[in-house]
Chains A and B, each alone.
Chain A
Amino acid sequence: MNTNQSSGGAAGPMSTFMPMNIDAHPLEFTGSGGEYFRVWIVNVLLSIVTLGIYTPWARRRTAQYFYSHTLVAGSPLEFTAQQRKMVMGFVLLMLLTIAYNLAANTGQDTAVGLFLLAGAALAPFIWASAMRFRLGATRWRGLRLQFTASWKEVYLASWPVFALALVWFGVFYGLQLLSPDLAQALETIEEEGKKQPMPSFTPAMGGLVLLGLVLSVLCVIRMEYNFKSLLVLKAQVGAEKGRWKPVYMDFVKVWMATVAVFILCVVGFSALIGILAGSSIALVASQSNRLGLWMFVVIIVSIIAGIFMLILASAPARAYREARMFQLMWNNIGVSHVARFKCHLKSGQYVWLRIKNMLLTLLTLGLYRPFARVSEYRMKCESVTLHVKGGVEQVTGAMVRQQQGGLGDALADAAGLDLIG
């Protein structure tokens, strides 16, 4: 969502002498769930027939469907990525995956380790090339978006990753200082595979671990903040640069609210499950004397249900975070001095839509997914209004040629960064 809508920020020239009218342009989405269902089912079928090789074509069609039905100030967005480059990226990614799987399956630990290490070191690079690809492939009124951050800026923005590593290094070092026995106990466990009596766990150690956890969460938030602000500040339409207002604390607040929602959901869910499980155990116990087997079944079922419920219970929190983050972003960004966005997304409504979509998708074994995707996209898209000072007619910029490779996109896809939404 972020990428394709930031294109809305094209605007007039920076004329500050004359007061100019500010026009409001609500974003429109003209697609429909039924129509996208057919786009999607065609993609699925062709992927099956071609044994998955159709994937890059499917991705392009999906992006084109959503882009061409999104109207920003009356003009549709264009997704202009070259198919050839997307296919090349896909093939490269497949070769990497096969190489990795071969290494993993044949037990070559060094190769696997190298792969993982390279993946971690290249993560900022992958993210940046994905963003470069996406913005560069987006066009609005004939103008390409650009992502102009240099690799140095991208790696500087990823300092929280290294801070995270330092925090945990510090925590383990601190633990060793506080309790030399612990390290020994851990070593013997590793060597013998047997449980030794663990040394006592002092409050100081607990505090240290807690501190480590809090610091890591702060690092993760900082990471998100850095990447998002870099994306907006280094995005460009024509010669106009992106504008970014949120501060780090805004992000922390959203995360804290999310944690609160999550805890509420978990408490509510566990109360519900407690009542249900309690009554069913009582029911079984009263009806059957073969308690042994039934207890076993009940335990297995409740473990599976527990994992499922955890996913279910975290869903509202995840949707809530997404909605709040979306509001924060789209209420506080713009394009230089000429365009601003306003967002009136309702968190409660969005959370409810996500829950409904998740349940329907589960019930239909995934066939509802295209409808869910369209309804979520529509709600987010249509909540945004573009305010432009001086008309959308006259953004100028140097001619930007499209030259981005598709590997960044393929990698981002593998990492779960969706092109749409």
Chain B
Amino acid sequence: MSAPEHPALVPGRWFDGQSSKARPVVVSLRSTPQGPSLVLHPLSQPGGEPVVFAWKQVGWPEAWNERKPQPRVVIDLRDHGSVEIDAVTEWRAALAVAGERPGIAQRMQTRWPVLLGVTAAAIIGLTLFYRYGTPWAATRLTRFVPLGWETSVAENVLKQMDEGTLKPSELPKERQQQLQARFNTLVQQAPATLHRYAQYNPPLSLEFRSGMGANAFALPGGKIVMTDGIVKAAADKGLPDDALVGVLAHEIGHVVHRHTTRMVVEQGVLNVGLGLALGDVSAIISTGASVMTGLAYSRSHEREADCYAIALMRHTALPTAPMGQLLLAIARDEDNEDAQKKDPGKGQAAAASVPASGASTPDAARQRKTAQEIGSHPVWSLLSSHPDTVERATELERGHAPHCAKG
């Protein structure tokens, strides 16, 4: 854009920063490579030299509304005070002639297509970042978390649960030893190639407890807990111990993928990022978005653990089908229980398993609502910490899942 020979002169009032007295001035703009520069012509003293302010030395007021400019703008001359201008339309026209390049915010503010474009970019960017970026970053960051921290967290959690919902196991000693032996074999046979973190070799151990229904969960740092309920459920359905070994493989998957630690990092990013981005809209929206995304991460962790279980079972030449059947059977049992008697006691039991979520409670307890409602309402699948049970069971029975990388 070429500057006209006589740049427009806009009248204004200059306050020098020393007193509140206004002095009449005329302001003109010159176009320079950096942007317009401002020339101040004082009118009060005859023969006063014009003062030139470079683009960087001026705080340029933003244009908020193209069609209806504000009645009066103030130009910030930093330590040289400020200039008030009443002829806002002429001022904006002069700026345009002098080659002002408005910032992205002002362009969005005054032009609808830019606003729509950025809206689209925001939606796509947000989806991509929280879908792929955060999990990726969490996987990387988790490398730097020491095993010692995980072990101390696990000890705390297990201690709290032992004081709360969990009781010592009532399984016979022989049975415990039997399962313990299978677990040890499985751990010994686990190939290092399946490990996501090459340097990460926590001591894996298995413990038995009763309470929390039919369930098993992994604590960070390698401790895996199995409840009497799930052992009984397998026995009741006449399923072989391979079903339980499959469940254990799934839990080992949680441990070697360090899902708890990754979840802590992911949840931190979610709370901070979404809180900052959406906090000004409403707390409901920002919390809702962070909870929903957290659940999506939890589902992807479950899938990852399933993939690990499938791969490990294949490696050790064990069938995954029994595990799938066990999963289905437990879900069905709970549906029946719910249908027979919906007493509040059960609701509390389900709530009690929530503190274990930090330790990635996998199989049963929280499935109840999903399994029951999923057929009728696809929305429930977004509100579940686990993928659809039927889908998981089918994949396990086939011993292959489409989402597993090396399946």
Stretch at the interface among B249-257, B272-280, B310-318, B320-328: B272-280
**B49 interface contact, C-beta 8 A:** no
Stretch at the interface among A38-46, A147-155, A170-178, A198-206: A38-46
List chain B residues, Cβ under 8 A from A409.
none
Contact between A39 and B281, CB atoms less than 8 A apart: no
| Chain B residue at smallest Cβ distance from A62 | B280
Using a CB-CB cutoff of 8 Å, which residues 386-408 of chain A contact chain B? 392-397, 399-402
Of the candidates B22, B129, B156, the one whose C-beta lies within 8 Å of that of A141 is: B22
Contact between A43 and B280, CB atoms less than 8 A apart: yes
Contact between A365 and B281, CB atoms less than 8 A apart: yes
CA distance A57 to B275 in the complex (A): 16
**A340 interface contact, C-beta 8 A:** no
Q: How would residues 130 to 155 of chain B score, 1 for a CB under 8 Å from any chain A CB and 0 otherwise?
A: 00000000000000000001001100
**B71 interface contact, C-beta 8 A:** yes
Q: Which residues of B line the A interface, CB within 8 A?
A: 14-22, 59, 61-62, 64-65, 68, 70-74, 76, 78-79, 81-82, 84, 104-105, 108-109, 115, 118-119, 121-122, 125-126, 129, 149, 152-153, 156, 163, 264, 268, 272-273, 275-278, 280-282, 284-285, 342-344, 347
List chain B residues, Cβ under 8 A from A143.
15, 17, 19-20
CA distance A113 to B76 in the complex (A): 44
List chain B residues, Cβ under 8 A from A282.
none
Contact between A44 and B282, CB atoms less than 8 A apart: no
A9 CB to nearest B CB, Å? 11
Contact between A142 and B81, CB atoms less than 8 A apart: yes
List chain A residues, Cβ under 8 A from B81.
142
List chain A residues, Cβ under 8 A from B20.
10, 140-143, 238, 392-396
**A337 interface contact, C-beta 8 A:** no
Contact between B281 and A366, CB atoms less than 8 A apart: yes
6 nearest interchain CB pairs?
A142-B15, A52-B276, A366-B282, A142-B81, A296-B344, A366-B281
| Chain B residue at smallest Cβ distance from A11 | B20
Contact between B72 and A396, CB atoms less than 8 A apart: no
CA distance A43 to B18 in the complex (A): 34
Contact between B268 and A55, CB atoms less than 8 A apart: no
CA distance A361 to B284 in the complex (A): 11
Contact between B118 and A45, CB atoms less than 8 A apart: yes
List chain A residues, Cβ under 8 A from B82.
78, 139, 141-142
Contact between B280 and A293, CB atoms less than 8 A apart: no
| Chain B residue at smallest Cβ distance from A106 | B149
CA distance A76 to B125 in the complex (A): 38
CA distance A141 to B13 in the complex (A): 9
List chain B residues, Cβ under 8 A from A48.
122, 125-126, 277-278
**A85 interface contact, C-beta 8 A:** no
Contact between A44 and B280, CB atoms less than 8 A apart: yes
| Chain B residue at smallest Cβ distance from A294 | B342
CA distance A78 to B83 in the complex (A): 11
Contact between B105 and A57, CB atoms less than 8 A apart: yes
List chain B residues, Cβ under 8 A from A402.
78
B198 CB to nearest A CB, Å? 24
List chain B residues, Cβ under 8 A from A290.
342
| Chain B residue at smallest Cβ distance from A393 | B21
B259 CB to nearest A CB, Å? 15
